[in-house]
Amino acid sequence: MAKKENFKVTPWNISGEVDYSKLVKEFGTTFISDKIKKKLDKAHPILRRGIYFSHRDFDKWLDAYEKKDKVSIITGRGPSERMHLGHLVPFLVAKSLQEQFDCDVFIPISDDEKFYVKENLTFEKSLEYSKDNILDLIALGFKPGKTFIFEDFVYTDIYKYAAKIAKRITYSTAKAAFGLKPENNVGWSFYPAMQAAHILFPQFYTNKKHISVVPVGIDQDPFIRLTRDIAQDFGLEKPAALHAKFIPSLYGDPKMSSSKGGSIFLSDLPEEVEKKIKKYAFSGGRDTIEEHRKLGGNPDIDVSFQYLRIFFEPDDKKLQKIHDDYKSGKMLTSELKSILIEKVNAFLKEHQKRKEQAKNQLDKFILKNN
Amino acid sequence: MAKKENFKVTPWNISGEVDYSKLVKEFGTTFISDKIKKKLDKAHPILRRGIYFSHRDFDKWLDAYEKKDKVSIITGRGPSERMHLGHLVPFLVAKSLQEQFDCDVFIPISDDEKFYVKENLTFEKSLEYSKDNILDLIALGFKPGKTFIFEDFVYTDIYKYAAKIAKRITYSTAKAAFGLKPENNVGWSFYPAMQAAHILFPQFYTNKKHISVVPVGIDQDPFIRLTRDIAQDFGLEKPAALHAKFIPSLYGDPKMSSSKGGSIFLSDLPEEVEKKIKKYAFSGGRDTIEEHRKLGGNPDIDVSFQYLRIFFEPDDKKLQKIHDDYKSGKMLTSELKSILIEKVNAFLKEHQKRKEQAKNQLDKFILKNN
C-alpha cells in the first residue's frame, strides 16, 4: 500500500503504481457504473473489460442517443512516429461505439502539436508521419461518410476555430494546464486552444449542439476539464469523456511508450513480433517449469495475458480458459506467448493489407479546406 | 529641446515630440541617403518628401532590382475598423514602388491579430472589417496578377508558415518583443510568429529567396528586427524596411488614430470632410485675420498644409506656392483649408467609385487555400 501512495499522474508523466480510485476522486470523475457497462456488453473488450473505468457525462451521451438526439465521438492522434498497439486503444473504442451507435467519429491529427513539442521533428517529417498514421486509422474500418479525419497542417481551416478559442484562454491558464515554460515556443503556448478546438470541432463542424464523447487516457483529463469550461462560453454542449487505464508496455511498465521501446508497431513483421514477445513480454510465470506446473502463473501481471484480454481475445470463455490454465500451471508462459504471437500476427497481417487498401480510400475520410 | 528628451516610441505607444535622429540611432537603422532619394524622385510624395526617412537594407533592395534580381514589397493591414487616411500611408508607398519597379506586392490582412488584441471585437465583425478594408486596398489601383492579398482567417494555409516560425520563437522572446502579459490570451502569444510569417511570406510563397521591403512606421521596427533574425534560420533573405514618420491627426497629435477621433475616413461624405477639416484641422495660422496678414502662418505645424504635402499635392511647384503664400500671410487658413477640402473630396469621390468596382475584382487579388 505504501507503494500506492507514491504514484503521480499528470499529462506529462506517470510514476509509481497507479491507484485509479484515488485518481477518480482527485480528478472528480465518475466510475463507469454497472448500468453503463450493461449497455456496452457487446462492445470491444477494451470497453467491456474495465480498461475504460471512469467517465464524465457518458451517461448523458447514452441518454441522448436513446432519445435519438445527435451524439458523436472525437479522438485524436499526435503523429510523432509509427503507430504501435497502445496508440490504438481510443480508436478501437471509437470504432466499437460507432458500430453500436452508428454515429459520427471525428479524428483530429495534431501534426502541429508534435512539431511544436518535439525539438528535432521537422515539418516535413511531421507531415510524413501524419500520412502514415492516417492510413493506419482508416485501416481500422471506420465508416466512410461518418468519419472525418482532419490534419491541422492540411485542414488549416481549423485555425479559425482555434483562434476563437485562443481568445478565451489566457497564457496563465494554458501555462497551468499544460505546464508551459517561458523557454517553450509560442506554438506550444497556442496549442491548448487548438486542442480544445479539436474537442469541440464536432459541434462547430456540424453546426449542431450535441454531446461528443472523448475516449482518453485518464492522464489527459485536465484538458477535458479546460475544454468543458470553454464549451459553455460558446453555448456548446460540454464534451463527455471516457477514461482509460494505462496499457502496460511489453516490459510491464505502466504505460506503453515507443520512446522507451517495448512496443509492438503496426508495421512489425511476424518475426519481429515473435522475437519481441518471446524476448521482452513481461511474464507472470515462475522461474522454472517445475515450479510453474506446481504453483501456477499470475495472469494479472502477465503482459501476454493482458494483451489477449485488452486486444486479441474477444471470446470471454476462451479468455477465461487461458486465464485458468495459466493460473493453475497447466499452461506455460511459452504456450501463452505462442497464442499471443499468433493472434498479433493475424491481426497485423490483416491490418497491413487493409492499410495498403486505405491508400485508395483517403478521399472518403479526409476533410479539406473550403 | 527639453521637450524632445521626453519622447518615447514603442510599438504600443508614442508620447512626446519625436526626435527621429535619436530613434535612428537607438534602433540602429539608416537615414535614407540622397543617392536613394534620387532614385525615388518620381515616386509618391510620401516617399519623395521625407515622410519615409529611415531604412534597413533598402539600398540592397534597389541594387537587387538593378541587377534584375527578384524584389517584392510586403505591407499588411490589421482590420479593426474602417480605414482612414493615415492607414493608407504604407499602401501608397507600396503602390508607388510597384509602379516604378513593376514588382509583386503582398498584403496580409491580419484579422486574427485584431481579434486577439481587441477585447470586444467579435470574430464575425473582424471578418466584416477585412472584407471592407480589402475593397479599399484594391481601390488604390494595385496591379492585378502582381498583388496578393491574403486574410489569415480565409487563407488559413498561412498557419503552416506561422507554425514553422512559431517553433523558433520562445514565449520569452515574444514576450519581450511584443510586451506580452500573462493575462493576454494565447492567440496573442502566437501572433508574433504569424506576423513574421507575413513578412517572410513573399519568399515562402514564391519559393524564391529574394529581398522584400516592408514599409512600416518606425515604431514597428522591433518586429522587423525579430523577423530578420528568423529569416536567417530559414535560409531566407533578410527583409528590408522603409520607416515612416508619424502622420499627424487632424488635431495635430503626433499619430493619426481613429480611436482618438481626428481622422478622415475613406468612407466620409463631402459634408463630413468639410466639417472635420473646418472644425478640427489644427491650424498654423494667427488668431486674427489682421495678425495673419501681417505675420503670416506656420505651414510646418499646419495640418492642412501637411496633408497637402503628404497626400494631396504632388506638384512641387504648386505646393511651394501654397507654402509661401501661407507663410507670407497672403493665404488665409480658411483658404488653405478650402484647397484641402476640395482635394480630399475629389480623392474620396474617385476612391469610393473604385471601391464599388473593386467588388468585381476580388478574384484577381485574393489568395485562396490550396
Q: Is pLDDT of B62 > 80?
A: yes
Segment (H or E) for A327: helix A316-328
| Chain A contact set for B152 (CB, 8 A) | 159
Give the pLDDT confidence score for residue B3 in this predicted structure: 40
Q: What's the CA gap between A255 and A272, in Å, rounded?
A: 21
Give the span between the Cα atoms of A49 and A37, in whole angstroms. Answer: 9
Q: Does A180 touch chain B (CB under 8 A)?
A: yes
- Tell me if B342 sits within 8 A of B318, measured CB to CB: no
What is the least distance, in Å, from the CA of A263 to any CA of chain B?
29
Mean pLDDT of A10-38: 81
CA distance B186 to chain A (A): 5
Residue A4, pLDDT above cutoff 60? no
* pLDDT band of A3, cuts 50, 70, 90: very low
Q: Which amino acid is at B239?
A: P
User: Which residues of chain A lie closer than 8 angstroms to B185, CB-CB?
Assistant: 166-171
Model confidence band, residue A80 (pLDDT cutoffs 50, 70, 90): confident
Mean pLDDT within B49-53: 92
Q: Which of the 8 DSSP states describes residue B253?
A: -
* Minimum-distance CB partner of B171 among A115, A164, A182: A182
For the segment B9-23, the average pLDDT, to the nearest whole number, is: 67
Q: Which residue has the higher pLDDT, A138 or A17?
A: A138
Contacts of B306 (CB under 8 A, 6+ apart): B248, B299
| Phi, psi dihedral angles at A291 (to 5 degrees) | -60, -45
Chain A residues whose CB is inside 8 A of the B112 CB are 159, 163
* Residues of A with Cβ-Cβ distance to B169 under 8 angstroms: 185-186
Whether B25 contacts chain A with CB within 8 A: no
Using CA coordinates, name the residue in chain A closest to B176.
Answer: A182
Taking only residues 183 to 242 of chain B, the set having a beta carbon closer than 8 angstroms to any beta carbon of chain A reads: 183-190, 192-193
* Structure confidence at residue B222 as a pLDDT band (50, 70, 90): confident
Burial code (b: 16+ CB inside 10 Å, e: under 16) for A160-191 equals bbbbbbbbbbbbebbbebbebeeebbbbbbbb
What pLDDT digit, counting tens, does each position of A207-266 carry? 999 999 999 988 889 899 999 999 999 999 999 999 998 888 888 776 655 555 679 999
Lowest pLDDT segment from A138-152, A275-289, A346-360, B62-76: A275-289
Kind plus residue range of the DSSP H or E element containing B89: helix B85-101
Closest Cα in chain A to B160: A153
Q: Per-residue pLDDT tens for A184-212? A: 999 999 999 999 999 999 999 999 999 99
B222 CA: distance to closest CA in chain A (Å)? 18
**How do beta strands A52-56 and A240-244 pair?**
antiparallel
- On average, the pLDDT of chain A sits at 92
A192 contacts B170? CB cut-off 8 A? no
Q: Identify the H or E element spanning B74.
A: strand B71-74
How many contacts, defined by CB atoms under 8 Å, are there between A and B? 118
Percent of chain A at pLDDT above 70?
93
Which pLDDT band, with edges at 50, 70 and 90, does B316 fall under? very high
Q: Which of B186, B189, B204 has the most A C-beta neighbours within 10 Å, making it the best mutation to test the interface with A?
A: B186
Q: Is the pLDDT of residue B166 over 80?
A: yes
Q: Would you say residue A8 has pLDDT above 70?
A: no
CB A240 within 8 A of CB A60: yes
pLDDT score of B14 more than 70 = no
Quick one: pLDDT at residue B2?
35
* Structure confidence by residue, pLDDT tens digits, B342-351: 999 999 999 9
For the segment A334-357, what is each residue's pLDDT rounded down to a tens digit?
999 999 999 999 999 999 999 999
Contact B170 A183 (CB under 8 A): yes
Tell me: pLDDT of A6 over 70. Answer: no
CB contact under 8 A, B166 and A190: yes
Comparing A250-259, A360-369, B109-118, the range with the smallest average pLDDT is: A250-259
Selecting from A168, A187, A369 the residue whose C-beta is nearest the C-beta of B163 gives A187
ipTM of the complex: 0.91
Nearest beta carbon to residue B369 from set A115, A156, A185: A156
Shortest CA gap A153–chain B (Å): 6
Residue predicted with more confidence, B167 or A20: B167
B164 touches chain A (CB under 8 A): yes
* Residues B326/B107, Cβ–Cβ less than 8 Å: no
pLDDT at site A36? 97
Is pLDDT above 70 for A44?
A: yes
In chain A, which residue's Cα lies nearest the Cα of B113?
Answer: A163
Is the pLDDT at A22 greater than 70, yes or no?
yes
Contact B156 A369 (CB under 8 A): yes
* CB within 8 Å of chain B, chain A residues 92-151: 112, 115-116, 123
Q: Is the pLDDT of residue A177 over 80?
A: yes
Q: How does residue B10 score in pLDDT terms, banded at 50, 70 and 90?
A: low
> Would you call B311 an interface residue with chain A, using a CB distance cutoff of 8 Å?
no
Find how far residue B106's CA is from the centre of its chain.
14
- The pLDDT, as a whole number, for residue A234 is 95
The Cα A99–Cα A206 span in angstroms is 20
Q: What pLDDT sits at residue B7?
A: 58
| Cβ pair A167:B185 closer than 8 A | yes
Q: List the A211-217 sheet strands across, edge first.
A: A30-31, A52-56, A240-244, A211-217, A71-74, A104-109, A147-151
**Distance in Å, alpha carbon of A183 to nearest chain B alpha carbon:** 5
At residue B15, the pLDDT reads: 55
* pLDDT for res B16: 59
Q: DSSP letter at B286?
A: -
User: Which residue of A lies nearest to B168 if distances are taken between CA atoms?
Assistant: A185
Contact B163 A193 (CB under 8 A): no
- Residue from the list A156, A164, A175 with its beta carbon closest to the beta carbon of B123: A164
